[in-house]
Amino acid sequence: MERLRSILDAITPVDRSLETEIRTHLDNLTKPLGSLGFLEDLAASYCLMSGTTRPQLGRKRIVTFAGDHGVAAEGVSAYPSEVTPQMVYNMLGGGAAINVLARHVGADLHVVDIGVADPLEGASGLARKKIKAGTDNISTGPAMSEEEAIQAIQVGVDLANGAAEDGVALLGTGEMGIANTTPSSALYASLIPCSVVEVTGRGTGIDDDRLQNKIKVIERALEVNGHLLTDPLRTLAALGGMEIAGICGLILGAAGRRVPVLVDGFISSAAALVAMRLRESVSDYLFFSHCSAEAGHRTFFERLRIRPVLDLDMKLGEGTGAALAMQVIEAAVKIYNEMATFDSAGVSGKDP
């Protein structure tokens, strides 16, 4: 717990005193007041996250955590657990959607084994940070111990620190893990809080019968682990996944270093929710890249009053939404930095 406390203590709210100068500059750009809408809000947020009225763009990185889930044995996914290591190999070979989009936006991609059941022999380029070979079945008991959850969080923190030292200016989250929408839905239900039905969807494409089974599995997990759901860390350990804990740590570590984070989709947002429950001011450093088509993500945004950057009916995960939204954030910052002001361009302002 002492390790976690020191991680949380490093996170402070953004300096809101800069906002007046930031907004004044945006209002003086050669455009009608507020005409770039949400893009202006994104630029202002990036400035505040970076702690400056003169923001600089830099390297972009997406960290994709992979882990397996014992709850997959309950038939909650349309795909077998073997797909997790297969997709890790695919990512390392450059053939996954996240590889294409990371290349497209010019972002580094780091693939991290934090909890894959397979040993992943011969996997070149993999960051080997395995805490445990998959979580335990949350429908019969806790996914992991508190100590294992803290270890996984520390992995993410260390990776965030490494990114900051490498000059990364935009950090994106990603994940791969068959059945991971199940622990994510359980975390939403417990931490929002809300009913399981409101935050449980079809994941990889399950039919009606499997969806009803998935809902019952999550309800059973909440009941079985009810005595452990007393604070965010214990809830993460009881219901979460290794990759979810890793993403939570990445977010906490990045916030401590004032590195803006693009949270990917449904699973990454569950990790962000844990991070925000651990330290509220973490939200000052987060962009939520898109609203997933996975049922429940919209519930999360509505309940927490958060506006995502994009809404493209995506639900792949991997970091794909984060990659796409990076370009929007960069465009917003370039507008802030590169547009002329009314004075510099000699353009008349609005009539009084």
Q: Are residues 287 and 260 in the same domain?
A: yes
Q: Are residues 166 and 43 in the same domain?
A: no
What proportion of the chain, given as a percentage, has pLDDT over 70?
99
Q: Read out DSSP for 70-114? A: GGGGGS-SSS-TTHHHHHHHHHHTT-SHHHHHHHHHT-EEEEEEE
Q: Are residues 72 and 47 in the same domain?
A: no
318 is an active site residue = yes
Mean pLDDT of 9-18: 97
Half-sphere exposure (CA, 13 Å, Cβ side) for 290?
27
Q: Are residues 240 and 181 in the same domain?
A: yes
Total domain count for the chain?
Answer: 2
Q: Would the pTM count as exceeding 0.95?
A: yes
Q: Are residues 214 and 290 in the same domain?
A: yes
Half-sphere exposure (CA, 13 Å, Cβ side) for 13?
6
Q: Encode pLDDT of 172-202 as tens digits.
A: 999 999 999 999 999 999 999 999 999 999 9
Query: Considering the domain boundaries, does residue 319 fall inside one?
Result: yes
- Give pLDDT, residue 182: 98
Mean pLDDT of 190-218: 96
Side chain identity at residue 163, one-letter code? A
Domain range enclosing 8 = 2-54+337-345
Q: Are residues 66 and 214 in the same domain?
A: yes
Instruction: For residue 78, name the pLDDT band (cuts at 50, 70, 90).
Output: very high
Query: Considering the domain boundaries, does residue 351 fall inside one?
Result: no
Q: Phi and psi of 254, rounded to 5°?
A: -65, -40
- Give pLDDT, residue 19: 97
Mean pLDDT of 320-348: 93
Q: Are residues 70 and 146 in the same domain?
A: yes
User: What span, in angstroms and rounded, lies between the C-alpha atoms of 213 and 236?
Assistant: 22
Query: What three-state secondary structure class fits 68?
Result: coil
Query: Considering the domain boundaries, does residue 289 fall inside one?
Result: yes
Q: Are residues 187 and 287 in the same domain?
A: yes
Q: Are residues 49 and 88 in the same domain?
A: no
Q: Is the sign of the CA dihedral 312, 333, 16, 323 positive or negative?
A: positive
User: What span, in angstroms and rounded, lies between the C-alpha atoms of 314 and 321?
Assistant: 8
Q: Are residues 245 and 309 in the same domain?
A: yes
Q: Encode pLDDT of 287-316 as tens digits.
A: 999 999 998 999 999 999 999 999 999 999
pLDDT reading at 2 higher than 90: no
Q: Phi and psi of 77, rounded to 5°?
A: -125, 155
User: What span, in angstroms and rounded, lies between the C-alpha atoms of 7 and 264?
Assistant: 22
Biggest distance spanned by C-alpha atoms of the chain: 70
Catalytic residue among 243, 294, 318, 330: 318
Q: Are residues 134 and 234 in the same domain?
A: yes
Query: What three-state secondary structure class fits 137?
Result: coil
User: What span, in angstroms and rounded, lies between the C-alpha atoms of 104 and 44?
Assistant: 25
Q: Are residues 84 and 26 in the same domain?
A: no
Higher-pLDDT residue of 44, 1: 44
